A and B are shown apart, each in its own frame.
Chain A
């Protein structure tokens, strides 16, 4: 009865060999290549948001190859794998891509909190860094436990903290939040649940009333949610949605007459695909934006010149400069800069994940460096260390005016005094659960 196991095994081997044969041969022919895996989702319920991000990511890599011949003289190769935002498919993609290229995958962007959770466990043995720019596990900021995770540029705890700061400011001080009602409408998954811990912590401090309204995947059923909002009339609604859920939330808000300017989305609930379906109804809606707001800078001109004008654009030209496209660009830039930094230590050759980890841990991108990369105004400072894998977290609020996103002047930073102890506690708990030995950063520094 196990007969077919052999068949399976045989067919699988045959298949993998057939598939990998051409790749292996090219890899041998020109071994000076750095391989970048791309986990993306271009189909299914989250495709409207996943597609522009993936396009931006891939376009940046294409542009570097065309403009600079790769990174530090090493040609960039990449391969996309469709995860469909599903954890098991994500794990399969990771396994498929991690060994490709002469040195294996340099760094992964998981693009899903669920996949991040699953891959974090594997990172300790596989030694391949995972960048989760603005998503993933908040506690992975702690590089002593999470050696391979890099939540560069922000976490959900930071995001929630900034939103509270913002509405506090609007009320005239966070102490004025006492007795106010805040409703969190969230995607019912680890992604949506991440901010709850911080919002509850802050609620204890400031005395606002937090109500939790989960929305089930994929998020088209929200009538009851918004009826509750109509009845309770919270002072603010925080939207922690992704994909079609955001647009539906805005439509339902219109339908129950909840003022859009009282609604604040996380940075993944503030892009063009979220507001466009709601049409005029989305006017006045706010969301956080980190790293890249909408618009075009120098790097976009390079992408247009070297990629799109040659007819090699991954997606339509019109999307260059949209919020999620830009975030894809920045994400690719982070990967490449990690490799570049690691090249200063290990030489300009294809690097392994372990070597790139050092690069990501020693990033020092200030505005000057970013401007040189063409990201002036489209990325914030990142400076990481063994202890801090986030590298700084600032964000602004932008508002949809019916046609475009208008970025507010105020810049927010997460209050580390509140977040740090939470991160520490959570990381320690993880280390104990998973039996992970924490690194000693002071010692590692001293030994150098």
Chain B
């Protein structure tokens, strides 16, 4: 009833190609952005920013990066947190060696470093694919973890092996409070989301998808596999690198290689599979699911005590594992294409509701 597009005509190609073709979508998204930028900063609490929104936004960005690679180009990566680590340590070293550099420049440089390494570890994808490629990326994960733990130069010879960063400054603005961090991250994530959306609609995104759907056919119609795959690795690693740098500088502040462990990589993969492969929206949904579910569970389970059940902290955290695992399996069985797919179906239905014929 409310979600109808009749009466909205597209008379130019420009209109036809816009990202949000339906007026209601447009209003909704602009409203949401206005809400996130103008209302949330004044109304959110520290907990909301630090424990929920900041991690959620940053991992969303990393998930988008991974989705470009896995969902759009069909190349699996089991070690994407390694690229986040590269971004974080690259940013750290850039800041150490070039103090005073604008943080946006630092982010971009960190992303570029990560992209270069991404290309390097993407090279096996020219030879192998599927789970085998997954193992190759696992090699990247463990090797990168090891390098940052062992080679002292990367941590600026810190005695504890961890690194810590100063508050981020740029244009004379110190990004200090959680609210400021949130706003900065939100803007970065929005810009990169828009870029990703345009990438996948454009020539390069289409060549990735062709590669994913059938590599031989793609080659036949003139897509160079090497170019398509390596650009996917590079862009994906770039996103992960930027996300990693923000994770280190704006979320953790101090970190060690364990902050970007294999578990983080697997979680990223969960996000895009639960959220929806080959969907930007899915990356956000998946990130929300994986970030929020454990928090919600760990807060909600002790409430069972109020109902007279005896659930101690240990029991609660075991239950959290179990429910988390069970829900993942549940979603995979119910909708293997991810929650984004459910959303799309709902939208289709809504267009016709309440008169389906």
Report if A and B touch in the complex (beta carbons < 8 A). Answer: yes
User: Does A3 have its Cβ within 8 Å of any Cβ on chain B?
Assistant: yes
CB-CB < 8 A to B47: which residues of A?
16, 95-96, 98-99
Contact check, A196 vs B159: say whether CB atoms are below 8 A apart.
yes
Could you tell me the distance between the alpha carbons of A87 and B247 in the complex, rounded to whole angstroms? 12
CB-CB < 8 A to A435: which residues of B?
166-167
Could you tell me the distance between the alpha carbons of A3 and B60 in the complex, rounded to whole angstroms? 13
User: Does A12 have its Cβ within 8 Å of any Cβ on chain B?
Assistant: yes
> For residues 411 through 438 of chain A, which have their beta carbon under 8 Å from a beta carbon of chain B?
426, 430, 433-435
| A84-B317, A92-B51, A117-B162 known; A8-B288 Cβ under 8 A | yes
CB-CB < 8 A to B292: which residues of A?
8, 11-12
Segment touching B, from A40-48, A292-300, A381-389: A40-48
User: Does A368 have its Cβ within 8 Å of any Cβ on chain B?
Assistant: no
CB-CB < 8 A to A196: which residues of B?
159
User: Does B206 have its Cβ within 8 Å of any Cβ on chain A?
Assistant: no
Could you tell me the distance between the alpha carbons of A4 and B53 in the complex, rounded to whole angstroms? 12
User: Does A197 have its Cβ within 8 Å of any Cβ on chain B?
Assistant: yes
Contact check, A2 vs B167: say whether CB atoms are below 8 A apart.
no
Segment touching A, from B30-38, B67-75, B225-233: B30-38
Contact check, B253 vs A3: say whether CB atoms are below 8 A apart.
no
CB-CB < 8 A to B32: which residues of A?
2-3, 5-6
Contact check, A19 vs B313: say whether CB atoms are below 8 A apart.
no
User: Does A82 have its Cβ within 8 Å of any Cβ on chain B?
Assistant: yes
CB-CB < 8 A to B83: which residues of A?
none
Contact check, A2 vs B177: say whether CB atoms are below 8 A apart.
no
Contact check, B318 vs A43: say whether CB atoms are below 8 A apart.
yes
Chain A residue nearest to B64 in the complex (CB): A1
User: Does A22 have its Cβ within 8 Å of any Cβ on chain B?
Assistant: yes
| A95-B51, A121-B254 known; A1-B46 Cβ under 8 A | no
Tell me, rounded to whole Å, the shortest Cβ–Cβ distance linking A403 to chain B: 27
User: Does A120 have its Cβ within 8 Å of any Cβ on chain B?
Assistant: yes
Contact check, B45 vs A1: say whether CB atoms are below 8 A apart.
no
Contacting A121 at CB < 8 Å: which of B29, B45, B253? B253
| A43-B321, A95-B50, A114-B162 known; A87-B300 Cβ under 8 A | no
Q: A2-B36, A12-B48, A87-B252 are in contact. List 18 more A-B contacts (CB 8 A).
A: A1-B197, A2-B33, A4-B288, A5-B288, A6-B35, A8-B292, A9-B53, A12-B292, A42-B313, A43-B321, A47-B314, A82-B314, A87-B258, A118-B252, A190-B160, A190-B256, A197-B159, A434-B167
Contact check, A15 vs B162: say whether CB atoms are below 8 A apart.
no
User: Does B93 have its Cβ within 8 Å of any Cβ on chain A?
Assistant: no
| A9-B40, A16-B47 known; A88-B259 Cβ under 8 A | yes
Could you write out 27 A-B pairs with CB less than 8 Å apart?
A2-B284, A5-B288, A6-B36, A7-B288, A8-B292, A9-B36, A15-B300, A16-B299, A19-B303, A80-B313, A81-B298, A82-B314, A82-B316, A88-B252, A98-B46, A113-B160, A114-B258, A117-B160, A117-B164, A118-B252, A118-B253, A118-B255, A125-B177, A194-B159, A196-B159, A433-B165, A434-B167
CB-CB < 8 A to A125: which residues of B?
176-177
Contact check, B254 vs A193: say whether CB atoms are below 8 A apart.
no
User: Does A188 have its Cβ within 8 Å of any Cβ on chain B?
Assistant: yes
Which 6 residue pairs spanning A and B have beta carbons closest together?
A42-B314, A197-B159, A121-B253, A117-B254, A95-B51, A82-B317
CB-CB < 8 A to B316: which residues of A?
82
Chain B residue nearest to A126 in the complex (CB): B46
| A82-B313, A189-B258 known; A2-B149 Cβ under 8 A | no
User: Does B56 have its Cβ within 8 Å of any Cβ on chain A?
Assistant: yes
CB-CB < 8 A to A80: which residues of B?
313
| A15-B299, A114-B162, A193-B159 known; A4-B284 Cβ under 8 A | yes
User: Does A167 have its Cβ within 8 Å of any Cβ on chain B?
Assistant: no
Could you tell me the distance between the alpha carbons of A98 and B252 in the complex, rounded to whole angstroms? 17
User: Does B332 have its Cβ within 8 Å of any Cβ on chain A?
Assistant: no
Contact check, B166 vs A433: say whether CB atoms are below 8 A apart.
yes
| Residue in A7, A8, A113, A122 whose Cβ sees the most chain B Cβ within 10 Å | A8
Contact check, A51 vs B314: say whether CB atoms are below 8 A apart.
yes
User: Does A217 have its Cβ within 8 Å of any Cβ on chain B?
Assistant: yes
User: Does B306 have its Cβ within 8 Å of any Cβ on chain A?
Assistant: yes
CB-CB < 8 A to B165: which residues of A?
433
Contact check, A22 vs B306: say whether CB atoms are below 8 A apart.
yes
Contact check, A118 vs B254: say whether CB atoms are below 8 A apart.
yes
Contact flags (1/0) for A114-157 with B, using CB distance below 8 Å? 10011011100100000000000100000000000000000000
CB-CB < 8 A to B50: which residues of A?
91-92, 95
CB-CB < 8 A to B251: which residues of A?
88, 91
Could you tell me the distance between the alpha carbons of A121 and B46 in the complex, rounded to whole angstroms? 15
Contact check, B285 vs A15: say whether CB atoms are below 8 A apart.
no
> For residues 159 through 197 of chain A, which have their beta carbon under 8 Å from a beta carbon of chain B?
188-190, 193-194, 196-197
Could you tell me the distance between the alpha carbons of A391 and B177 in the complex, rounded to whole angstroms? 32
Chain A residue nearest to B264 in the complex (CB): A88
Could you tell me the distance between the alpha carbons of A194 and B161 in the complex, rounded to whole angstroms? 8
Tell me, rounded to whole Å, the shortest Cβ–Cβ distance linking B162 to chain A: 5
Contact flags (1/0) for B326-348 with A, using CB distance below 8 Å? 00000000000000000000000
User: Does B193 have its Cβ within 8 Å of any Cβ on chain A?
Assistant: yes
Contact check, B252 vs A4: say whether CB atoms are below 8 A apart.
no
Could you tell me the distance between the alpha carbons of A125 and B174 in the complex, rounded to whole angstroms? 14
Contact flags (1/0) for B147-158 with A, using CB distance below 8 Å? 001000000000
User: Does B280 have its Cβ within 8 Å of any Cβ on chain A?
Assistant: yes
Could you tell me the distance between the alpha carbons of A9 and B189 in the complex, rounded to whole angstroms? 16
Contacting A19 at CB < 8 Å: which of B46, B288, B300, B318? B300
CB-CB < 8 A to A96: which residues of B?
47, 51, 299
Could you tell me the distance between the alpha carbons of A117 and B253 in the complex, rounded to whole angstroms? 9
CB-CB < 8 A to B281: which residues of A?
1, 3-4
